[in-house]
Amino acid sequence: MTKAKTTKSAPTNPTSEGTPTPTREINALRPGDIKPVGQINNSWETILPADYTREELEDPRLWGFMAPRFREMDSIRVSADDCSWTAFGVVHQVVGSDASVKFPKQWYLELSPRSESELDINGHLIRNCGRIRKYVIFKKGTGNIIKEGCANQMEAIQYLNDHLKSHNRRVA
């Protein structure tokens, strides 16, 4: 009577060094099985305003113009312009001009917002609103935006001074 061949693997046996021997046959990867990252998928990065939510990041309308360039399994890193969060997503599906991008909760990192002081000058606030909007001048009582896009705080102060001079008021 002959024994039937079995496909069960033998139990793991530690060697004299303490490392276990493999229990199954492992096939080596061939050159065509592994590729540099750029050939398998692309990595994309962008900066969006800080008020975007994780749900809005998954909205296909956000990615509509980029869909023709995306490939499934591309990775996307999105950062808030005020450095308050960073999200990592994966292109799940691309069909024509529609792209489904998924941002799992564990890949959405909420960071502490930058602690830059606001300047309160004569009823106006000068605040750094991130890399896209830059320094913005608000009227304190109404919240109306007087100017946005000032490159630095000094430029915002000079603009506010000129604005107040035109209304016969001056920054001290």
Q: Which CATH number goes with the domain that contains 93? A: 2.40.240
pLDDT at 106: 87
- Distance, in Å, from the CA atom of 62 to the CA atom of 99, rounded to the nearest integer, reads 9
Q: Averaged over 45-54, what is the pLDDT?
A: 86
Residue 81 shares a structural domain with residue 129: no
Residue 136 shares a structural domain with residue 162: yes
pLDDT at 163: 86
Query: Which stretches does DSSP call E strand in 64-143?
Result: 75-80, 85-95, 98-102, 108-110, 119-121, 124-128, 135-139
- In the chain, how many domains are there? 2
Provide φ and ψ at 74, rounded to 5°: -65, 150
Which comes out higher in pLDDT, residue 90 or 129?
90
- Is residue 11 a part of any domain in this protein? no
Domain carrying residue 157: 119-166
Portion of the chain with pLDDT greater than 70, in percent: 76
Which alpha helices (DSSP H) does 21-141 contain, by range? 37-40, 54-57, 130-133
Name 125's Cβ contacts closer than 8 Å, sequence gap at least 6.
Answer: 118, 119, 137, 138, 140
Which alpha helices (DSSP H) does the chain contain, by range? 37-40, 54-57, 130-133, 153-166
Residue 98 shares a structural domain with residue 52: yes
Eight-state DSSP code of residue 129:
-
Residue 15: pLDDT over 60: no
Kindly indicate the confidence band of residue 165, based on its pLDDT and cuts at 50, 70 and 90: confident
pLDDT at 4: 46
- Is residue 19 a part of any domain in this protein? no
Residue 46 shares a structural domain with residue 95: yes
Kindly indicate the confidence band of residue 109, based on its pLDDT and cuts at 50, 70 and 90: confident
Residue 101 shares a structural domain with residue 148: no
Q: Mean pLDDT over all residues of the chain?
A: 79
* Domain end position, chosen among 90, 110, 130: 110
Provide φ and ψ at 75, rounded to 5°: -105, 145
Q: Averaged over 157-167, what is the pLDDT?
A: 86
Residue 92 shares a structural domain with residue 139: no
Q: Which pTM does this prediction carry?
A: 0.53
pLDDT at 115: 55
- Is residue 8 a part of any domain in this protein? no
- Is residue 144 a part of any domain in this protein? yes
- Is residue 57 a part of any domain in this protein? yes
pLDDT at 8: 47
Q: Averaged over 110-125, what is the pLDDT?
A: 75
- Please say whether the beta carbons of 126 and 119 come within 8 A: yes
Residue 49 shares a structural domain with residue 85: yes
- Is residue 153 a part of any domain in this protein? yes
Q: Averaged over 106-133, what is the pLDDT?
A: 77
- Please say whether the beta carbons of 94 and 70 come within 8 A: yes
- Is residue 17 a part of any domain in this protein? no
Q: How do strand 98-102 and strand 108-110 relate by DSSP bridges?
A: unpaired
Residue 53 shares a structural domain with residue 101: yes
- Distance, in Å, from the CA atom of 52 to the CA atom of 80, rounded to the nearest integer, reads 8
- Is residue 36 a part of any domain in this protein? no
